[in-house]
Copies of this chain bind each other. A is one copy, B any other.
Amino acid sequence: VEAGATNCQFRLAARPEGLPGRDCWEMTEEAPREPADGEALVKVLQLSLDPAMRGWMNDVPSYVPPVGIGEVMRAIGVGQVVESKHERLAEGDFVTGLFGIQEYATLPGDALTPIDADLAPLATYLNVLGVPGMTAYFGLLDIGKPQPGETVVVSGAAGAVGATVGQIAKLKGCRAVGIAGGPEKCQMLVEDFGFDAAIDYKNDELLPALREKCPERVNVYFDNVGGEVLDAVLARLARKARIVICGAVSQYNESSMRGPSNYMALLVRRARMEGFVVFDYADRYAEAAREMGGWMAEGKLKGSEDIVAGIETFPDTLLKLFRGENTGKLILEVASA
């Protein structure tokens, strides 16, 4: 790394109530840390901004520990090795890892995964070939278990996970219906991503729309949002339906979670609701990446990214996510390769 380089970082300064405002963050600068033996220093190029970040900001134990006050905010990214003391990594290698919201990350080499920047754009490794893609793939196929001819509904459908869920559902011979906010997103789902139909939760009435777009009811519901959308789909389940609980972004900034008051539909419809954490599938990521990479090469699966430049925009860019203003995977560009 060049002499005198500084590492700009965003640290958690206060835990939010509701939407995470600017007062939650402290921007700090320090020299990039030299790698010790077995470590590598990475120049961060792009960072993934995800709904799950809101959960990590709460002081509540979850599938990962909360981010501590004063710690660099957790984030997954892609970057390039600038200095390596790890035998498998060399300067110039492209890698992905848990870098955090900062310009440079010094991490054990074993915590970095090499990526092939010639095979796909870097952002793809934060989207279809990254955690969102893996989430869509394993959540839909392993938990939802869609069968050909079934109807798959996904909420947050214009987001990184949702758009991939809908496309995989189509590839598996299902009817794919997406729920998203606003006519532009809905149009994109049908025209760009090949969904059979879309429902605009901001403008359509959910129950009549679900009746119209899902005439055979809903066999698989992949839920990213919770709240009233979850309740509406519960009212339209088919017998033996599977609900995949992936997230509840409509509730993350509420002071108290709203539970699905229609959950007794699970009994009436002999249905189930199941949660999963994508990291449990880590030893199968390569298998999924091979299959999805193949679909991408054939033009049957595509990603969409919303790339915002400038690490200094992080607090505002993150809010785009919770306001539903992004279209496709929201990515913070920290530097170009």
Q: Which residues of A contact B (CB under 8 A)?
A: 62-63, 226, 231, 245-248, 256-277, 280
Question: Can you list 28 pairs linking A and B with CB atoms under 8 Å apart?
Answer: A63-B267, A63-B268, A231-B259, A245-B266, A246-B267, A247-B267, A257-B261, A257-B262, A257-B263, A258-B261, A259-B259, A259-B261, A259-B262, A259-B263, A260-B263, A263-B273, A264-B275, A266-B275, A267-B275, A267-B276, A268-B275, A269-B275, A270-B275, A270-B280, A271-B274, A272-B273, A272-B274, A273-B274
The A interface, classified by DSSP as helix, strand, loop or mixed, is loop
Min C-beta distance of A77 to chain B, whole Å: 24
Determine whether the beta carbon of B271 is less than 8 Å from that of A275: yes
10 more A-B residue pairs beyond the given contacts A246-B267, A257-B263, A271-B274, with a C-beta to C-beta distance below 8 A: A63-B267, A63-B268, A245-B264, A257-B261, A260-B260, A267-B277, A270-B277, A271-B275, A272-B273, A273-B273
A258, A260, A262, A273: most-surrounded residue (chain B CB, <10 A): A273
* Residue on B nearest A247 in the bound complex, by CB: B267
Q: How many copies does the complex hold?
A: 2
* Residue on B nearest A265 in the bound complex, by CB: B275
Bound Cα distance from A276 to B276, whole angstroms: 21
Min C-beta distance of A233 to chain B, whole Å: 13
Determine whether the beta carbon of B259 is less than 8 Å from that of A266: no
Bound Cα distance from A265 to B276, whole angstroms: 10
* Residue on B nearest A237 in the bound complex, by CB: B275
Bound Cα distance from A269 to B61, whole angstroms: 11
**Chain B residues with CB below 8 A from A62, complex form:** 268
Bound Cα distance from A240 to B175, whole angstroms: 29
Min C-beta distance of A55 to chain B, whole Å: 9
Bound Cα distance from A259 to B271, whole angstroms: 16
Determine whether the beta carbon of B260 is less than 8 Å from that of A248: no
**Chain B residues with CB below 8 A from A245, complex form:** 263-264, 266-267
Min C-beta distance of A267 to chain B, whole Å: 3
Min C-beta distance of A211 to chain B, whole Å: 14
Min C-beta distance of A141 to chain B, whole Å: 16
Contacts A258-B261, A259-B260 given; indicate if A277 touches B268 (C-beta within 8 A): yes
**Chain B residues with CB below 8 A from A273, complex form:** 263, 266, 272-274
